[in-house]
Amino acid sequence: MFIASREALQEYAAKIKGAAAAETKILVSMGTCGIAAGTTPVLEAIREEISARNLQNAIEVVEVGCMGLCHCEPTIAVIDTATGRQIIYGDVSAAQVPQILAAGTDSPAHGTRTVERSWYYPEFEAKPDTAIQAKIVLRNTGRINPERLDEYIGEDGYDALAKALTEMKPEDVIKEITAAGLRGRGGGGFPTGKKWQFAAAQKNDEKFMICNADEGDPGAFMDRAVLEGDPHAVLEAMAIGGYATGAHNGVIYIRAEYPLAVKRLGIAIEQAHEYGLLGKNLFGSGFDFDIEIKYGAGAFVCGEETALIHSIEGMRGEPTFKPPFPAVQGLWKKPTVVNNVETYANVGAIIRNGSDWFRAIGTQGSPGTKVFALAGKVSKVGLVEVPMGTTLRQIIFGLGDGIKDNKQFKAVQTGGPSGGCITTKNLDTPIDYDTLIALGSMMGSGGMIVMDEDDCMVNIARFFLEFTLDESCGKCTPCRVGNRRLYEMLNEICDGRGTMETLDKLKNLALTVKDTALCGLGQTSPNPILSTMANFPDEYLAHIKENRCPAGVCPNLIHYEINDKCVGCTLCARNCPVNCISGERKMKHVIDQDKCIKCGVCFQTCKFHAIEKK
Amino acid sequence: MSCTCDQMPGSDNLIEAYPEKRAELEAYIDSLPLGENPDRNRGFLIQSLHKAQSVFGYLPTCVQLFVADKLKLHLSEVYGVISFYSFFTETPVGRYKINVCTGTACFVKGANKIVDEFKRFLNIQEGETTPDGKFTLGILRCVGACSLAPVVMVNDRVYGNVTAKLVPEIINACAE
B77-111 residue pLDDT tens: 999 999 999 889 998 888 899 999 988 888 888 89
Does the distance separating the beta carbons of B143 and A218 come in below 8 Å?
no
Does the distance separating the beta carbons of A376 and B108 come in below 8 Å?
yes
Same domain, A111 and A34: yes
Does the distance separating the beta carbons of B116 and A219 come in below 8 Å?
no
Same domain, A345 and A448: no
Q: Give the mean model confidence (pLDDT) for residues A290-309.
A: 93
DSSP string of A329-343?
S-GGGS-EEEEEHHH
* Residue-level pLDDT at A36: 81
B121 contacts B100 by C-beta, under 8 angstroms: no
Q: Is position A139 within any domain?
A: no
Nearest to B87 among A258, A298, A417 (CB): A298
Q: Is position A346 within any domain?
A: yes
Is the Cβ of A310 closer than 8 Å to some Cβ of chain B?
no
Q: Give the mean model confidence (pLDDT) for residues A316-344.
A: 95
Rounded to a whole number, what is the distance in angstroms from the first to the last CA of chain B?
45
Is the Cβ of A71 closer than 8 Å to some Cβ of chain B?
yes
Q: Which chain A residues touch B39 with a CB distance below 8 Å? A: 313, 332
* Residue-level pLDDT at A357: 97
Q: How far is B88 from chain A (nearest CA, A)?
A: 7
How large a percentage of chain B has pLDDT more than 90? 54
Same domain, A437 and A461: no
Q: Which chain A residues touch B87 with a CB distance below 8 Å? A: 256, 296-298
Angle at B138 between CA B135 and CA B142, to 5 degrees: 135
* Residue-level pLDDT at B2: 47
Across chain A, mean pLDDT equals 94
DSSP three-state, residue A163: helix
Domains recognised in chain B with CATH numbers? 5-84 (no CATH), 96-175 (3.40.30.10)
SS (H, E, C) A239-260: HHHHHHHCCCEEEEEECCCCHH
Nearest to B86 among A298, A311, A318 (CB): A298
CA–CA dist A198, A185 (Å, integer): 18
Given a cut of 80, whether residue A80 has pLDDT beyond it is: yes
Does the distance separating the beta carbons of A221 and B146 come in below 8 Å?
yes
Nearest to A297 among B42, B46, B104 (CB): B46
B45 contacts B4 by C-beta, under 8 angstroms: no
How large a percentage of chain A has pLDDT more than 90? 84
* Residue-level pLDDT at A601: 82
Q: Which chain A residues touch B140 with a CB distance below 8 Å? A: 257, 298
CA–CA dist A113, A96 (Å, integer): 10
Tell me the CA distances in angstroms from A216 to A154, A411, A478, A548, one per residue in order: 33, 22, 21, 34
Q: Is position A84 within any domain?
A: yes
Give the amino acid at A513.
V
Nearest to B146 among A375, A417, A464 (CB): A375
Same domain, A464 and A444: no
Q: Nearest residue of B to residue A381 by CA position?
A: B147
Q: Is position A45 within any domain?
A: yes
CA–CA dist A420, A439 (Å, integer): 8
Q: Give the mean model confidence (pLDDT) for residues A133-148.
A: 96
Same domain, A468 and A441: no
Same domain, A274 and A174: yes
Same domain, A320 and A441: no
* Residue-level pLDDT at B7: 47
**For residue A142, what is the DSSP state?**
T
Given a cut of 50, whether residue B10 has pLDDT beyond it is: no
CATH number, position A91:
3.40.30.10
Q: Give the mean model confidence (pLDDT) for residues A529-541.
A: 96
Q: Give the mean model confidence (pLDDT) for residues A103-117.
A: 91
* Residue-level pLDDT at B12: 63
DSSP string of B11-75?
---HHHH-HHHHHHHHHHHHHS---S-HHHHGGGHHHHHHHHHHHHSS--HHHHHHHHHHHT--H
Chain A segment 108-127 residues within 8 A of B by beta carbon are: none
* Residue-level pLDDT at A598: 83
CA–CA dist A56, A43 (Å, integer): 14
Q: Is position A7 within any domain?
A: no
Does the distance separating the beta carbons of A71 and B165 come in below 8 Å?
no
DSSP string of A561-603?
EE-TT-----HHHHH-TT--EE--TTS--EE-TTT-----HHH
Q: Nearest residue of B to residue A448 by CA position?
A: B105
Does the distance separating the beta carbons of B107 and A463 come in below 8 Å?
yes
Q: How far is B3 from chain A (nearest CA, A)?
A: 23
Same domain, A193 and A329: yes
Given a cut of 60, whether residue A352 has pLDDT beyond it is: yes
Range of the domain at A23: 19-117
Tell me the CA distances in angstroms from A535 to A63, A378, A423, A523, A528, one per residue in order: 45, 21, 7, 20, 11
| Nearest residue to B18 via CA among B77, B71, B70, B58 | B58
Across chain B, mean pLDDT equals 87
**Which range among A221-230, B108-117, B154-163 has the greatest average pLDDT?**
A221-230
Q: Give the mean model confidence (pLDDT) for residues A433-461.
A: 92
Q: Which chain A residues touch B50 with a CB distance below 8 Å? A: 256, 295, 297
Q: Is position A261 within any domain?
A: yes
DSSP three-state, residue A344: helix
Chain B interface test: which of A313, A471, A480, A554 (most B C-beta within 10 Å): A313
Chain A segment 287-306 residues within 8 A of B by beta carbon are: 294-300
Q: How far is A606 from chain B (nearest CA, A)?
A: 15
Q: Nearest residue of B to residue A456 by CA position?
A: B108
Interface of chain B against chain A, CB under 8 Å?
39-40, 42-47, 49-50, 77, 80-81, 84-88, 102-105, 107-109, 113, 116-117, 120, 140-149, 151, 156, 158, 160, 164-165
Q: Which chain B residues touch A373 with a CB distance below 8 Å? A: 146
Same domain, A435 and A484: no
**For residue A261, what is the DSSP state?**
H
Given a cut of 50, whether residue A599 has pLDDT beyond it is: yes
Specify the number of domains making up chain A. 5
A148-207 residue pLDDT tens: 999 999 999 999 999 999 999 999 999 999 999 999 998 789 999 999 999 999 999 999
* Residue-level pLDDT at B176: 65
Same domain, A270 and A332: yes
Nearest to B46 among A216, A295, A332 (CB): A295
Q: Is position A553 within any domain?
A: no
B33-64 residue pLDDT tens: 998 888 899 999 999 999 999 999 899 999 99
Same domain, A573 and A592: yes
Interface predicted TM-score (ipTM): 0.86
Given a cut of 80, whether residue A122 has pLDDT beyond it is: yes
Q: Nearest residue of B to residue A31 by CA position?
A: B145
Given a cut of 60, whether residue B4 has pLDDT beyond it is: no
Given a cut of 80, whether residue B1 has pLDDT beyond it is: no
Q: Is position A142 within any domain?
A: no
β-pairing, A581-582 vs A590-591, is antiparallel
Same domain, A184 and A198: yes
Q: Which chain B residues touch A312 with a CB distance below 8 Å? A: 43
